Amino acid sequence: MPYQPFDLGGKVALVTGGNGGIGLGMAEALAQAGASVIIWGMNPAKNAEAKAQLEATGQRIASEIVDVADEGAVIAAMDKAVAEFGRIDTVIANAGVGGGAPFAEFPTEQWRKVMAVNLDGVFFTLREACKHMKTRAEAGDPGGSLVAISSTSAIHGAARNQAYGAAKGALCSLVRATAVEFARYGVRCNAVLPGWTVSEMTQSAQENEKFNRQVISRVPFRQWLEPKDFGGIAVYLASDAARFHTGDSIVLDGGYTIF
């Protein structure tokens, strides 16, 4: 018999940026483990394709066009998700953008765009999730799992990526504070720090021979992570097996940051 705490049957998960990359890898694993899944994304075609892929699991799937940098859009979409599904048990704030430049010439507009999506967007998303989970707990149904997708850029220096690293580092602090405050409602909050992962954001680096030779060669596994590699941690954090795991920053990078 399978280990029952990993069964997500009856649970509902929401994944922002769930129409591709790490988000889709996590969403698919959650659905395969029995959860109903809602994905948020900005690209209608990618949303539709991801929704069809997830529906092959046999679970209930929904997709919404949501700009997480838009506070009103996040509030409305979270309210809609709760109304349609009755509850949200897991929220994975994964939506993010890149945007590097030499620091001495770093455009203020670019800095603010990175912060708006990678930090403000996570703040809006997790805040609205906390409102729902607190209300549910006060009605006698405590529990919930919040996950912020940070980056190893939060803990090591990444030249030309000060905005990205600053936003991702801030998420780790946001997670720890939220974990302490909402534990009384049975809500857990953790961060996942991915290493070099195959995605649209890293496409140019994947195709750069010098980058692969000088950077990916430093990953002990000597290869890029793939979105599917994040399915296990998504299911674990959403599951009852992780009911006392909170306030953590979980590095998943093939050993890159310790080598």
The token pair at 237 is 């954090």
Give the per-residue pLDDT at 171. Answer: 98
Ranges of the chain with pLDDT below 50 = none
d(CA 213, CA 232): 28
Beta bridge partners of 144: 187
The token pair at 196 is 């070099």
Helix or strand (DSSP H, E) at 144 = strand 144-149
Give the per-residue pLDDT at 31. Answer: 98
Task: Judge contact between 235 and 33, C-beta under 8 A.
Answer: yes
Give the per-residue pLDDT at 208. Answer: 85
Report the predicted TM-score, pTM, of the whole model to 2 decimal places.
0.96
Give the per-residue pLDDT at 114. Answer: 97
d(CA 74, CA 129): 10
Spell out the domain ranges in the chain: 4-258
Give the per-residue pLDDT at 158. Answer: 83
From residue 41, give the alpha-carbon distance in Å to each of 58, 103, 127, 258: 21, 29, 18, 33
The token pair at 3 is 């280990």
Beta bridge partners of 188: 145
Q: pLDDT digits over 75-120, tens only?
A: 999 999 999 999 999 999 999 999 889 999 999 999 999 999 999 9
Q: What is the DSSP letter of 20?
A: S
Give the per-residue pLDDT at 203. Answer: 83
The token pair at 147 is 């996950």
**Residue numbers annotated as active site:** 164
Give the per-residue pLDDT at 99. Answer: 85
Q: What's the CATH class of domain 4-258? A: alpha beta
